């Protein structure tokens, strides 16, 4: 009787499991049907609306690439040579005491500017005053003795004429007179030396300049043999800057220097963005450094505002020539391809590839020798989407920048070695780097250098 009951329970469990699976299948089928209905009703309608909107927009401007243009101007561009320089004082003096003694007073403040002849310090003068008095006393004594010997010598000569004394006594008296005259000269030298030592006890500034930190305090004993010195004076006006240039530029610089031309030199800060001072080339060294292949130059700056400080590192820019009559354009417009440099020229709302010959690049401005004319509009932004003949859209608000008004003056006012633009292309070029079209290669650099005459065919 127990066996049939267990079989009934087993059949009932299997029936419950089967109905559970059927319930899950029905639920999943209902969810799938609901999802299909939602997609069909709502999502397909939204996709259709987007497609229609895209078609309407395409009808307004198919293939037009938004770009920014800049105008080409005419002007001159300076040719610069650049190097890393160090500020050097024309004169630096370490002031030492020339006598031994106690430092009594100091007549300067640390960091003070002094002029030549200003009193700096006072060494105790009393020992030298005593030496002077002793020398003067010895001189007075010897002069009195000399006067007595000279009188005796005159008497001896009279006695010798009368035959009273021998000639030897007269000669001896004359020798004593000469010896005492020599002593008087020695006494005078002692007086002069004492006066000189007394003068050295007052230390005066030998040059105009700025005093550094004090090295000896009042009350200390100083010696003429001290190696440290008492203070250091550095001349600040004018001041020099030494810098190195590659030996390839030596013939050009040396030729102008021998001809007497004044080469302007500018000093910039470490970031090459802010000009510190302006000066001129003073001279060049007489040899080339064989280890670096460079030669040293020395420029002089008035330094009226004390902007340059000894041992300061600066970036130096020296103008050696001027390229005249160039077409000026933003450096961002220049592209480089397998066949040379080129630009995208805007003509009739289309971008045309125009080969150019770049003469020089200075900051964000390039000087083009051939290929561009005044008034041409070149593309400086959006170049990565262009090809020869592409339709362009300059937009309605600031799509075109630049113009014809600024040419020569703008080219000469490049403020920094690595920045600064010329002409009206400054605003248009900006600092954005735009990649080149895939068919033609990369964008032209904006470094400060001369270019060869390569041209695309």
- Print pLDDT tens along the chain (457 aa): 444 444 444 444 454 555 666 777 787 777 777 777 666 665 555 544 454 444 444 444 456 889 999 999 999 999 999 999 999 999 999 999 999 999 999 999 999 999 999 999 999 999 999 999 999 999 999 999 999 888 988 888 888 888 888 888 888 888 988 999 999 999 999 999 999 999 999 999 999 999 999 999 999 999 999 999 999 999 999 999 999 999 999 999 999 999 999 999 999 999 988 999 999 999 999 999 999 999 999 999 999 999 999 999 999 999 999 989 899 999 999 999 888 999 999 988 899 999 999 988 888 899 999 899 999 999 999 888 888 888 898 874 444 444 433 344 444 444 344 333 333 333 333 333 333 333 333 333 333 444 443 333 3
- Give residue limits of the domains in the chain: 66-78+324-450, 82-89+234-322, 96-231
Pick one of 3.40.1160.10, 2.40.420.20, 2.60.40.10, 3.40.50.300 as the CATH number of 66-78+324-450. Answer: 2.40.420.20
Specify the pTM. Answer: 0.62
CA torsion, points 286, 89, 417, 325, in degrees to nearest 10?
A: -60
186, containing H or E segment? helix 167-200
Cα 285 to Cα 125, 314, 372: the distances in Å are: 46, 19, 42
For 255-301, the DSSP string reads: HHHHTT---EEEEE-TTS-SEEEEEEEEEEEEEEETTTTEEEEEEEE
CATH architecture assignment, domain 96-231: Beta Barrel (2.40)
How far is C-alpha 451 from the chain's CA centre? 24
* Alpha carbon distance 330, 353 (integer Å): 16
**Which class would CATH give 82-89+234-322?**
mainly beta
Cα 187 to Cα 131, 134, 141, 196, 199: the distances in Å are: 11, 9, 10, 14, 18
CA atoms within 13 A on the CB side of 197: 22
């Amino acid at each position: 009787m127990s066996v049939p009951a267990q079989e009934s329970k087993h059949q009932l469990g299997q029936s419950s499991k089967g109905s559970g699976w059927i319930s899950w299948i029905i639920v999943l089928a209902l969810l799938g049907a609901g999802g299909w209905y939602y997609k069909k009703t709502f999502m397909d309608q939204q996709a259709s609306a987007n497609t229609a909107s895209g078609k309407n927009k395409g009808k307004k401007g198919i293939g037009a690439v938004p770009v920014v243009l800049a105008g080409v101007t005419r002007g001159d561009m300076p040719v610069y040579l650049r190097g890393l320089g160090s500020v050097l004082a024309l004169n630096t003096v370490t002031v030492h005491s020339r006598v031994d003694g106690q430092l009594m007073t100091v007549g300067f403040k640390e960091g003070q500017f002094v002029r030549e002849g200003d009193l700096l310090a006072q060494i105790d003068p009393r020992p030298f005053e005593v030496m002077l008095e002793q020398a003067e006393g010895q001189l007075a004594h010897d002069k009195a003795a000399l006067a007595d010997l000279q009188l005796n010598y005159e008497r001896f000569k009279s006695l010798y004429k009368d035959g009273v004394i021998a000639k030897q006594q007269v000669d001896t008296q004359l020798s004593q007179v000469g010896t005492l005259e020599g002593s008087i000269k020695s006494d005078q030298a002692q007086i002069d030396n004492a006066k000189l030592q007394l003068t050295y006890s007052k230390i005066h500034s030998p040059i105009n300049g700025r005093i550094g930190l004090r090295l000896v305090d009042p009350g200390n004993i100083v010696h003429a043999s001290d190696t440290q010195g008492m203070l250091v004076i550095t001349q600040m006006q004018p001041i020099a800057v030494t810098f190195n240039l590659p030996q390839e530029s030596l013939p050009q610089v040396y030729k102008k220097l021998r001809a007497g031309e004044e080469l302007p030199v500018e000093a910039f800060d470490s970031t090459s963005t802010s000009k510190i001072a302006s000066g001129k080339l003073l001279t060049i060294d007489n040899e080339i450094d064989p280890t670096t292949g460079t030669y040293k130059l020395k420029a002089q700056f008035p330094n009226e505002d004390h902007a340059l400080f000894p041992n300061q590192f600066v970036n130096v820019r020296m103008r050696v020539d001027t390229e005249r009559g160039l077409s000026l354009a933003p450096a961002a417009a220049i592209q480089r391809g397998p066949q040379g440099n080129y630009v995208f020229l805007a003509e009739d709302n289309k971008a045309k590839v125009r080969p150019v010959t770049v003469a020089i690049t200075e900051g964000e401005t390039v000087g083009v020798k051939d290929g561009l004319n005044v008034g041409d509009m070149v593309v400086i932004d959006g170049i990565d989407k262009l090809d020869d003949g592409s339709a362009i859209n300059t937009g309605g608000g600031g799509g075109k920048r630049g113009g014809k008004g600024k040419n020569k003056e703008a080219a000469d006012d490049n403020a920094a070695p690595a920045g600064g633009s010329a002409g009206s292309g400054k605003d248009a070029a900006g600092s954005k780097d735009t990649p080149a079209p895939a068919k033609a290669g990369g964008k032209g650099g904006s470094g400060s250098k001369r270019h060869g005459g390569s041209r695309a065919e």
